[in-house]
């Protein structure tokens, strides 16, 4: 957590917000209505060779004001020239162009995902009259309901356990006020937040540019995914990117506007991944395979619940994965090995996985699944989806009975092994780790996500979301492509 986590809450944004710079408004007002000022001078006046043309001989309507400098192609950061011609007003500022020779750019890319599938409710507290039960109704304890504390007014209905202080209120859902999408006010608020962090030495202004990557289906086509490029990003000496991602102000902004924010340094490799590695359970598929196996066993009747509890605690990081996996497999002793084949039709592939893999294949990206589950199902799924590599655990089967012995052959594909396999595959393919992406949901995916250039938490457990480089909480894994800078038009071409 950053040492600036106690910074006062940013006020509700307004268009007159006192940001460090007005770059957001400048970027969004580059193209103006065709209102030509009197005596304007056109594009020919700006770009022609001013040494060969006498300003005095120019026609009167297009004589530029005194003191105009000849434009050399590189605009002045302080006084960028403006071209006015044929109804076009364009300010020639180059905050996102290639840096001058001998310098480097320190740009930060923020991808904002609006979580339209998980809208938040308002924090408005109903009046006691609204919250009361109908007259005459009785509480479970036999008392009149109107003598109790309404259930939605406090975390308890007993005065003995009533908290001495009210719980911390959730941030107000500002998307309810300004639009259930990535609204201009949402972007303005984010830029205002980012302007509160120190810039690198020598930088005085925060420039920005935006691209809408995904639009909704309404007639107004509101943006659901927006990519913001900040130039420069906050000083890395003050706040490394890994810490900036975890900053309390970023988290609060996400809660206020109902968005996920993915922050990445704008590098060449950001746009060109060459290997994408996936976890299987709750990532490529929506289920946990070992829970599906346990659910088929009726004796003892509580087996499925016991296995599910171990799975849940292991994914949260409360249990060491290797020992937890062996314990669960032990509970499956006696199952017929044919059960793996029987489970194939039950597997539910996560929404967006198939088009995502088609897009990655067309881009020439290698893919792999590294699963803490079972090799028979993992290999079959990899073949069905067209993945290049598949690694998982191999259980021991009794040759005489054809049933599981409760043992696991070789090393468990846990956190350490997943990281090793990711590095091995990247080395075999000659791919730098900077161009590797790892996607998972559990604590046993954190090491491979850390080894990759980008680790993505997909609808993940809280600890994983906090530690990962980026987090996606949507209903389609195809959203991964927006992190690479693709927009909907380009994605449509890739998944055809």
Residues identified as active-site? 279, 281
CA dist 107 and 234 (Å) reads 9
- Enumerate the H helices of 246-351 as residue ranges: 248-257, 268-271, 289-295, 303-315, 321-331, 339-343
* Cα torsion angle, 462, 468, 469, 472, sign: negative
Rounded to whole angstroms, how far apart are CA atoms 464 and 118? 19
CB environment 265-286: b (16+ within 10 A), e (fewer) = ebeebbeebbbbbbbbbbbbbe
> Of 475, 469, 413, 398, nearest to 444 (Cα)?
413
Task: Give SS3 for 278.
Answer: strand
Q: Pairing mode, if any, of strands 207-215 and 223-231?
A: antiparallel
Q: Per residue in 207-245, is it b (16+ CB within 10 Å) or e — as a string? A: bbbbebbbeeeeeeebbbbbbbbbbbbbeeeebeeeebb
Q: How many CB atoms lie within 10 A of CB 370?
A: 26
Strands laid side by side in the 207-215 sheet: 207-215, 223-231, 108-114, 259-265
- Burial group, residue 444, by CB count within 10 angstroms (0-12, 13-18, 19+): buried
Contact 96, 232 (CB under 8 A): no
d(CA 203, CA 1): 25
Whole-Å CA distances, 43 to 71, 84, 185, 288: 11, 6, 34, 63
């Amino acid at each position: 957590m950053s040492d600036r986590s106690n910074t006062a809450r940013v006020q509700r944004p307004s268009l007159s917000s006192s940001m460090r710079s007005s770059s957001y408004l400048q970027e969004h007002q580059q193209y103006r209505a065709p209102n030509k000022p009197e005596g304007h001078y056109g594009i020919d006046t700006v770009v022609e060779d001013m040494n060969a043309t006498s300003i005095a001989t120019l026609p009167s309507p297009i004589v530029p004001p005194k003191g105009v400098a000849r434009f050399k192609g590189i605009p002045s950061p302080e006084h960028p020239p403006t071209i006015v011609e044929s109804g076009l007003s364009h300010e020639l500022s180059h905050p996102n162009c290639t840096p001058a020779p001998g310098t480097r750019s320190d740009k930060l890319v923020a991808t904002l995902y609006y979580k339209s599938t998980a809208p938040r409710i308002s924090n408005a507290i109903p009046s006691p009259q609204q919250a009361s039960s109908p007259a005459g109704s009785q509480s479970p304890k036999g008392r009149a309901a109107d003598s109790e504390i309404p259930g939605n007014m406090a975390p308890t209905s007993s005065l003995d356990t009533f908290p001495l202080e009210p719980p911390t209120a959730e941030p107000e859902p500002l998307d309810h006020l300004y639009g259930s999408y990535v609204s201009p006010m949402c972007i303005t608020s984010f830029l205002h937040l980012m302007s509160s962090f120190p810039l690198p030495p020598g930088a005085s202004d925060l420039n920005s540019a935006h691209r809408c990557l995904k639009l909704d289906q309404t007639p107004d086509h509101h943006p659901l995914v927006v990519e913001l490029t900040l130039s420069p990003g906050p000083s890395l000496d003050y706040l490394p990117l890994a810490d900036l991602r975890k900053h309390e102000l970023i988290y609060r902004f996400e809660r206020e506007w109902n968005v996920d924010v993915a922050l990445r340094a704008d590098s060449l490799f950001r746009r060109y991944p060459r290997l994408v590695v996936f976890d299987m359970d709750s990532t490529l598929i929506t289920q946990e395979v070992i829970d599906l196996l346990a659910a088929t066993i009726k004796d003892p009747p509580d087996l499925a619940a016991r296995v599910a509890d171990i799975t849940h605690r292991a994914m949260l990081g409360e249990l060491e994965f290797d020992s937890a996996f062996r314990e669960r497999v032990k509970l499956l002793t006696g199952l017929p090995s044919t059960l793996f084949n029987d489970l194939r039709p039950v597997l539910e592939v996560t929404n967006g996985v198939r088009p995502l893999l088609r897009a990655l294949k067309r881009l020439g990206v290698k893919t792999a699944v590294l699963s803490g589950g079972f090799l028979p199902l993992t290999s079959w799924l990899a073949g069905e989806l067209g993945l290049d590599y598949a690694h998982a655990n191999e259980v021991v089967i009794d040759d005489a009975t054809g049933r599981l012995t409760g043992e696991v052959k070789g090393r468990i594909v846990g956190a350490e092994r997943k990281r090793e396999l990711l590095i091995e595959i990247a080395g075999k393919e000659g791919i730098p780790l900077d161009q590797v992406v790892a996607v998972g949901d559990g604590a046993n995916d954190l090491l491979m996500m850390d080894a990759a250039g980008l680790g993505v938490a997909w609808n993940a457990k809280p600890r994983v979301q906090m530690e990962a480089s980026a987090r996606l909480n949507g209903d389609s894994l195809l959203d991964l492509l927006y992190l690479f800078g693709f927009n909907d038009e380009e994605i449509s071409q890739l998944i055809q």
